[in-house]
Structure 1
């Protein structure tokens, strides 16, 4: 399935009012003197939130968790968006070298201890960022998992940070319609069947038997009984 055929199936939605609401909320935070940052995995659907941020305030730093396990296509997508949108992308990573991220048998942690791998490469690196800011913008959406379905647009997070989820109630149809209307680039792996892209060892193609607009994350940690990396659970209130 081509990228164009995917986005052409999205239903029409008006986004100007939604963007205005997000802009007003961010202006409120700034007026209160709050230090704001965003995080992004630069997976296929990340482009929407990043485009909105770029339209409102390009000075907001966007932190990218460089786990050393990303698809080359994701790194290319990150660089492309940073240049095209003019956003301030800051890479952060674990202080533990990949060569030391192994279990007692010398196997990479992602094979048998994926929770520990995610904690080292995602949760720990961003904790220092949380301590230096007051508001954390991220692009989670209710349709992505049972955990996220229970979340609110504003929630208290670890280290006193306010978590702000501006596109929490957007579904996949809206995401791809926005991409289509704004003529934004699409992650190259979408056309190959990847709708949710994380680290290369723990990401497979989406389940082809599920509906296109199911917000499918079946390709993430397939067969490991895992649906979250910890950023949206461990770093909650």
Structure 2
């Protein structure tokens, strides 16, 4: 979808009285959607899923982008404290059960949030993974929410061109070889032969956190 199409769809949602929010990981490629939304309606809540494990550079970048784009950013945290996020051996879950760690820190908090809104504006792209390629522009989600994927048909080249056209800031870790940036313990630099998201949960046979698998109505 181009800018005008996204704007038109958001206006339709608004005219229907539907409440909207978006989530963002505040990576370089994800702020394209944030910039588009800031041009259309910067009052739409931007939810940062604060797992407590983000790189300090990500938190600083979030604050910078929020100020520069004049966004309404909200931190969303797990209701399960870290001392309860341990396995039987006393190790934090990201070391032994990353799926459950993601569930407690990302999927569960967003699922609760879906009870408060009608539309979840989500920046997934079909070129990022097989899971995302199978998605549709509008897709039902739990709690009678609709997932809206305006960037689904965008590719990496289009993202780069938009970034260049509007001179958007880049995540400070990008120049250090990080292209897909999540929680610090589960993110590594991208090797030349790797796909973008292979740097996440490297060696764990895992490419999604659950937001785009569990929070999609079957």
TM range (shorter): over 0.9
In structure 2, what is the equivalent of residue 107 of structure 1? 91
What is residue 206 of structure 2 aligned with on the other side?
226
Aligned to 2:166: 182
Moved more, 109-118 or 91-100: 91-100
TM-score by length of 1: 0.90
Contact 2:20–2:119 (8 Å) recurs in 1: yes
**Aligned-partner Cα distance in 1 for 2:209–2:56:** 20
- Report how far residue 45 of structure 1 moved: 1.1
Report the alpha carbon displacement of residue 61 of structure 1 after superposing the two structures with TM.
0.4
Q: What pairs up with 1:25-174 in 2 under 5 angstroms? A: 25-174=9-158
TM-score normalised per structure 2: 0.97
C-alpha deviations, 1:21-72, integer Å up to 9, x for none?
Answer: 1000000000111011111111221110000000000110011110000001
Tell me the C-alpha RMSD between the 2 structures: 1.0
2:197 aligns to what SS in structure 1? coil
Unaligned 5+ segments in structure 2 are none
CA contact (8 A) 2:188 2:199 kept: yes
- Report the count of equivalent residues: 217
SS at match of 2:74: strand
* Greater displacement, 171-180 / 18-27: 171-180
Give, in whole Å, the separation in 2 of the partners of 1:131 and 1:59: 19
> Alignment partner of 1:52: what SS?
helix
CA distance in 1, matches of 2:124, 2:158: 14
Alignment partner of 1:208 is 2:192: yes
**C-alpha contact (below 8 Å) 1:44/1:197 kept by paired residues:** no
